Chain A
């Protein structure tokens, strides 16, 4: 080989090497990025992600970004008080068609890294070692209303109001004792993100009420054994069994309520039965002779008068959608139907000490059919103030801690969660 040819060959090799190194430095962006189902993502459903142009076995770097500086564009770096990326991870390895990954918003929420809703977000996909990426615009939007309600609301240029949904749907909550496995959870509303904690010893709960700021009354229907009434400290410690159903009594205990002088009222009922019984626990036991017969489908004992002689109860009625308030006179052992009005319901479940801007906690059925029963704070006109619990599982029977600021509620436990 002549010196000239050798020099040319070396130059060519150097150029190829430089090209290869350059290629290693930045392999360029992926060939394509798509999110499914579309730009509007339902937080209850995972987002499917497809990244094309990634060699088999290689991973893509995925990031969820938001706009921190208000220019309408995603920011790779956040600012003080505005995190971006909100979440980032390496995808599963690519197969022949590229990467097929998913982003589970519910799981993120469970990890305390909830993505903000009603805001535009971007998914960025890049190849490892590359500064170039592709973007897909998306937003998390949860619409608790039906299409018809949303259509009506769109003419008012406002999101569909939960109040409207509540007015059209007379559901006020489901009976936890009918199906599913529940436990009591405590949510501190000042915490952000909200992370409810389980109250020990309450698995199998069917009802709850506050005894005082640190203790709960809980009714249980254990998988094995008789129905029970417990006194459970929320800060931990052993729950004390106050009452246990006698052998042979298959009725389920539910709807506890603290009465003056250390007494506790609760209901015993069988699923589907036309009647239920209100019992009062005092002096360490229940006197069956003082039981009061009630209509079936009792949901909650909501309040009692200061003397503890009368109780306001809420029955859900047939198919849980004919709610009615009942006045129970313990002395007379009589029951009077008071009818139903949403305003009374809202007042009863308003936060303690919130007279200036009353906020009520309600359980509402997510009628998109995906989220079961959720918990939300609503204002006096029924407008959504804040979502408290939005999960595929049911969350029911929210109860304000005396003094406000925290809630106890029944949270459905899935089999996976329930396994030790």
Chain B
């Protein structure tokens, strides 16, 4: 189809929705509802996977059960956070994050500008080639940084694997640095975790722009057509790989290893209540909206040597919150503390 024909056809397609709604209101609304339900299911699925990624980051096992609305809220939160964290990373306290974000912004703008020069497909092709190289390297580093020396399938780490392979190698340094943002408990590190999550938004935006631009690029010949579809495919593949990292990125940025500290109430468990009040045993509420409360215990003063383990609370009639007093402080649960390793 030529560009002229496509342009002629495009205006007719846009206002077709309203007449269609007037002609077949029930059918159209039904289709809309179907679309909404499908989107809701996808977002809920994303929320579910994100909550599982949170558990992986924490080493929490067995998995928790969450209400369905928690899936949906977490899914929307993961998508929405791409936007606000994406804006936040542009003014990050870490120069590498800031520069990476601005580079990606420039790439998006460059792709959009190159697409506006249809008479010179070489410009767009060159930009797309540059884009795929940059995004390939960038996403590689991003995945390394996000893994933070602790691959999701490696089981509970809570920071003990940080720096297993520390050297002057750039990837090793990136992983060590981002791992330290998880375990070093400072407000700055919390902000940096958010910024790293936001960088994914720009990586995805650059991939999406490249896919869109390459798919709409006029094909002047067979070779160019083959090249643009290859580039489109490469960008789409990168986007899929990055999307796979979205749950972990959101879990890393939103929770990390930082959870509210709690104390036990005397009637539920007197020994734990005494130990958590005296802080010889620290308890953290790691439920994050699960139907039953789960507490992580840390410290050599935890009764019955339960330090370093998860305690699942609640029964059929309660979620276990009546046993806990939430303190105002949130702290990082790292596998490094005097209690955990005297």
Chain B residue nearest to A65 in the complex (CB): B336
Q: Quick check: is A71 within 8 A (CB to CB) of the other chain?
A: yes
> Which of the candidate stretches B66-74, B184-192, B235-243, B246-254 sits at the interface with the other chain?
B184-192
Chain B residue nearest to A32 in the complex (CB): B186
Q: Quick check: is B183 within 8 A (CB to CB) of the other chain?
A: yes
Contact B342 A150 (CB under 8 A): no
The listed residue (B169, B177, B334, B340) touching A154 by CB distance below 8 A is B169
Give, as a whole number of angstroms, the nearest-CB distance from B160 to chain A.
4
Q: Quick check: is A15 within 8 A (CB to CB) of the other chain?
A: no
Contact A150 B170 (CB under 8 A): yes
Q: Cα distance A138–B338 when bound, in Å? A: 17
The listed residue (B94, B180, B185) touching A32 by CB distance below 8 A is B185
Give, as a whole number of angstroms, the nearest-CB distance from B132 to chain A.
16
Contact A159 B176 (CB under 8 A): no
Interface residues of B in 317-342 (CB under 8 A from A): 334-342
Give, as a whole number of angstroms, the nearest-CB distance from B167 to chain A.
5
Contact B168 A151 (CB under 8 A): no
Interface residues of B in 139-193 (CB under 8 A from A): 141, 159-164, 166-173, 176-177, 179-181, 183-186, 188
Contact B173 A137 (CB under 8 A): no
In the complex where A39-B177, A131-B338, A138-B180 touch, is A154 in contact with B159 (Cβ < 8 A)? Answer: no
With a CB–CB cut-off of 8 A, which chain B residues contact A151? Answer: 137, 170
In the complex where A34-B188, A154-B170, A160-B169 touch, is A73 in contact with B336 (Cβ < 8 A)? Answer: yes
Q: Quick check: is A62 within 8 A (CB to CB) of the other chain?
A: no
The listed residue (B167, B181, B334) touching A118 by CB distance below 8 A is B167
Contact B163 A139 (CB under 8 A): yes
In the complex where A28-B279, A72-B160, A135-B336 touch, is A141 in contact with B180 (Cβ < 8 A)? Answer: no
Interface residues of A in 38-91 (CB under 8 A from B): 38-40, 71-76
With a CB–CB cut-off of 8 A, which chain A residues contact B184? Answer: 34-35, 39, 136-137
Q: Quick check: is A179 within 8 A (CB to CB) of the other chain?
A: no
Q: Quick check: is A142 within 8 A (CB to CB) of the other chain?
A: yes
Give, as a whole number of angstroms, the nearest-CB distance from A65 to chain B.
9
With a CB–CB cut-off of 8 A, which chain B residues contact A136? Answer: 184
Q: Cα distance A135–B335 when bound, in Å? A: 11
Q: Cα distance A397–B339 when bound, in Å? A: 52
Interface residues of B in 285-342 (CB under 8 A from A): 334-342
Which of B141, B161, B164, B337 counts the most A-chain CB atoms under 10 A from its CB? B337
Chain B residue nearest to A124 in the complex (CB): B338
Interface residues of A in 132-184 (CB under 8 A from B): 132-139, 141-145, 150-151, 153-154, 157-160
Chain A residue nearest to B182 in the complex (CB): A137
The listed residue (B137, B141, B172, B336) touching A74 by CB distance below 8 A is B336
Give, as a whole number of angstroms, the nearest-CB distance from A417 to chain B.
29
Q: Cα distance A23–B67 when bound, in Å? A: 43
Q: Quick check: is A122 within 8 A (CB to CB) of the other chain?
A: yes
In the complex where A118-B166, A141-B168 touch, is A72 in contact with B161 (Cβ < 8 A)? Answer: yes
Contact A135 B167 (CB under 8 A): no
Interface residues of A in 104-124 (CB under 8 A from B): 118-120, 122
Chain A residue nearest to B299 in the complex (CB): A132
Q: Cα distance A29–B169 when bound, in Å? A: 35
Interface residues on B, range: 35 or more
The listed residue (A72, A134, A137) touching B164 by CB distance below 8 A is A72
Contact B166 A135 (CB under 8 A): no
The listed residue (A71, A120, A143, A160) touching B163 by CB distance below 8 A is A120
Chain A residue nearest to B334 in the complex (CB): A135
Give, as a whole number of angstroms, the nearest-CB distance from B7 to chain A.
43
With a CB–CB cut-off of 8 A, which chain A residues contact B137? Answer: 151
Chain A residue nearest to B169 in the complex (CB): A159
Contact B185 A134 (CB under 8 A): yes
Which applies to chain A's interface (DSSP): helix, strand, loop or mixed? Answer: loop
Contact A120 B166 (CB under 8 A): yes
With a CB–CB cut-off of 8 A, which chain A residues contact B159? Answer: 137
Give, as a whole number of angstroms, the nearest-CB distance from A384 to chain B.
9
In the complex where A39-B176, A160-B169 touch, is A137 in contact with B185 (Cβ < 8 A)? Answer: no
In the complex where A120-B162, A120-B163 touch, is A39 in contact with B180 (Cβ < 8 A)? Answer: yes
With a CB–CB cut-off of 8 A, which chain B residues contact A139? Answer: 163, 166, 176
With a CB–CB cut-off of 8 A, which chain A residues contact B160? Answer: 71-73
Q: Cα distance A158–B94 when bound, in Å? A: 24
Contact B335 A72 (CB under 8 A): yes
Give, as a whole number of angstroms, the nearest-CB distance from B189 to chain A.
8
Contact B342 A73 (CB under 8 A): no
Chain A residue nearest to B178 in the complex (CB): A39
Chain B residue nearest to A135 in the complex (CB): B336
Chain B residue nearest to A139 in the complex (CB): B166
Give, as a whole number of angstroms, the nearest-CB distance from A357 to chain B.
22
In the complex where A74-B336, A76-B342 touch, is A145 in contact with B162 (Cβ < 8 A)? Answer: no
The listed residue (B163, B168, B185) touching A145 by CB distance below 8 A is B168
Contact A160 B180 (CB under 8 A): no
Q: Cα distance A38–B172 when bound, in Å? A: 15
In the complex where A72-B335, A73-B335, A122-B336 touch, is A157 in contact with B171 (Cβ < 8 A)? Answer: yes
Contact B168 A160 (CB under 8 A): yes
Chain A residue nearest to B340 in the complex (CB): A73
Chain B residue nearest to A35 in the complex (CB): B184
Give, as a whole number of angstroms, the nearest-CB distance from A311 to chain B.
38
Contact B336 A153 (CB under 8 A): no
With a CB–CB cut-off of 8 A, which chain B residues contact A29? Answer: 338
With a CB–CB cut-off of 8 A, which chain A residues contact B177? Answer: 38-40
With a CB–CB cut-off of 8 A, which chain A residues contact B335? Answer: 72-73
With a CB–CB cut-off of 8 A, which chain B residues contact A71? Answer: 160, 341
With a CB–CB cut-off of 8 A, which chain B residues contact A137? Answer: 159, 162-163, 179-180, 183-184, 336
Q: Cα distance A133–B340 when bound, in Å? A: 12
Give, as a whole number of angstroms, the nearest-CB distance from B87 to chain A.
23
With a CB–CB cut-off of 8 A, which chain B residues contact A131? Answer: 338
With a CB–CB cut-off of 8 A, which chain A residues contact B169? Answer: 150, 153-154, 157-160
The listed residue (A28, A72, A135, A159) touching B337 by CB distance below 8 A is A135
With a CB–CB cut-off of 8 A, which chain A residues contact B167? Answer: 118, 141, 158-159
Which of A34, A141, A158 counts the most B-chain CB atoms under 10 A from its CB? A141
Chain B residue nearest to A160 in the complex (CB): B168
Report which B residues bind A (CB closer than 8 A): 94, 137, 141, 159-164, 166-173, 176-177, 179-181, 183-186, 188, 279, 334-342
Complex A-B, nearest 5 residue pairs according to Cβ-Cβ distance, in ascending order: A39-B180, A120-B163, A72-B160, A154-B170, A159-B168
Given A38-B94, A73-B336, A139-B166, list of 6 further CB < 8 A pairs? A34-B188, A39-B181, A76-B338, A132-B279, A132-B339, A136-B184
Report which A residues bind B (CB closer than 8 A): 28-29, 32-35, 38-40, 71-76, 118-120, 122, 131-139, 141-145, 150-151, 153-154, 157-160
Write 5 A-B pairs (CB below 8 A) sorted by A numbering.
A33-B186, A39-B180, A120-B162, A137-B180, A150-B169
